[in-house]
Amino acid sequence: MEKDTLNKKPSKWTLRFLDLIIDIIVLILAGAVLFLSYLKLGNQYSLLLQLILRFSFLLYFFIFESIWQRTPGKFLTGVKVVSKDGSKPSVWRILGRTLARLIPFDPFSFISANPVGWHDSVSGTYVVPENYSVEDVKSLKVKKTKFWVIAVVGLCWITISSIGVYLFLVHFQTQQNNLIKQSVSPEAVLGQKYSDPKFQFTLYYPAGWQVSIDDNGLPYSVFFIAPDQVGAPNGLRGSVIVNVFPDPSGNNLKVLSDQFKQQMQAVAASSGNQWTVVSENDEAKLGMLPAVSCITTKLRTFDNGATYVKEKSEIFLLIKNGLGYDVEYNNDMYKFDAMKSLAEKIIATLVLK
């Protein structure tokens, strides 16, 4: 019996390594549940869930080992945490053991014939088979693991796990991107597809909107008219318009933009209005094509000098196959912002052949 007591050793390092793997799996599953809960609950409990996610690793070991002396991994492998005198560790001792897990390479410091990790040594604890008595624990004789063994195994583990985490994140990001694309796809958001019979461009628009074509050769215009403007005298408002015209700029967007502005100002002036560019972006994109975008207002001036905003527009100018495209959304000033987001979604679906 005395000989049997003298041969007592801490839990084998292979079992402890298995404990670690099981606990990591449990933590990943719990983290996934918390993350999905965070996405579902939104801002209601976001701060609490973020704190739990950030400190889940430490909370996991502290709670399980302080209450039950073992984590789920240790339950499955039949081992427990004890103080060096064989008693149940105090909460403070488990807290020190938990914080010591933050030491670099600590998870591999138990690799030896008589495995005792750094978080064991710092906290004055052992991991032993669950059937060990107090006398068995007191009789333990342990050896320290050589640092170079810990370093080599730790580096290998970090390399392998880093590759695994990277591959997981790449896969996760790809899945997220696919979900985002599906959720904001033109079909999902808008529903109706328009394919132009003359210039073969396509564009998606909402159900209930009407399409009207003004074909005078060139310029050529297609109007996508909101339901509340169908049949109204000012039916061009609350609309998305695609105008196709010969490119007079020689495939130069900057020149095209300047010519377009001069023309619009002249047309507005001839009808007693004032056309003004409020903001401009020379490096815009529409699909994969470079574009010039601008926000404009059209003011009407009365004889007494008073003015009021008649219309506001967001305009995209681009060039494709020797043709100029003026893609715009316009509306009454007080309605413009309310429909701007939807109009931009419609315009963003334009594909030129």
- 3-state SS string over 277-312? EEEEEEEEEECCEEEEEEEEEEEEECCCCCEEEEEE
Amino acid letter, 63: I
> Are residue 135 and residue 225 in the same domain, yes or no?
no
212 HSE (CA, 13 A, CB side): 15
ω into 219 cis (within 30 of 0) = yes
Residues 279 and 331 in one domain: yes
> 133 with 58, same domain?
yes
The tens digit of pLDDT for each residue in 53-65 reads: 667 778 888 889 8
The better pLDDT of the pair 8, 3 is held by: 8
Total structural domains within the chain: 2
Q: Which residues contact 340 (CB under 8 A, 6 or more apart)?
A: 314, 329
**Residues 141 and 193 reside in one and the same domain:** no
Q: Within this chain, do residues 140 and 198 fall inside the same structural domain, yes or no?
A: no
Is residue 169 in a domain? no
Co-location of 341 and 194 in the same domain: yes
Whether 287 contacts 352, CB under 8 Å? yes
pTM of the model as a whole? 0.48
Write down the pLDDT at residue 194: 92
Last residue of a domain, one of 91, 112, 145: 145
Domain interval for residue 35: 2-145
Same domain, 341 and 226: yes
Q: Is residue 180 included in any domain, yes or no?
A: no
39 HSE (CA, 13 A, CB side): 6
Per-residue pLDDT tens for 292-332? 999 888 876 665 656 666 788 999 999 988 899 999 998 88
According to the model, what pLDDT value does residue 3 have? Answer: 46
pLDDT of residue 227: 82
Average pLDDT of every residue of the chain: 79
**Domain's final residue, options 88, 110, 145:** 145
CATH number at residue 235: 3.40.1000.10
Return the minimum-mean-pLDDT range out of 80-84, 86-90, 103-107, 199-203: 103-107
**Percent of the residues in the chain that have a pLDDT greater than 90, as a whole number:** 13
Predicted pLDDT at 2? 44
Q: In Å, how far are 222, 284, 319, 322, 325 from 249, measured between CA atoms?
A: 22, 18, 9, 9, 12
- The pLDDT value recorded for residue 142 is 67
- 130-173 pLDDT, tens per residue? 888 888 777 777 665 555 655 665 576 667 767 877 787 777 67
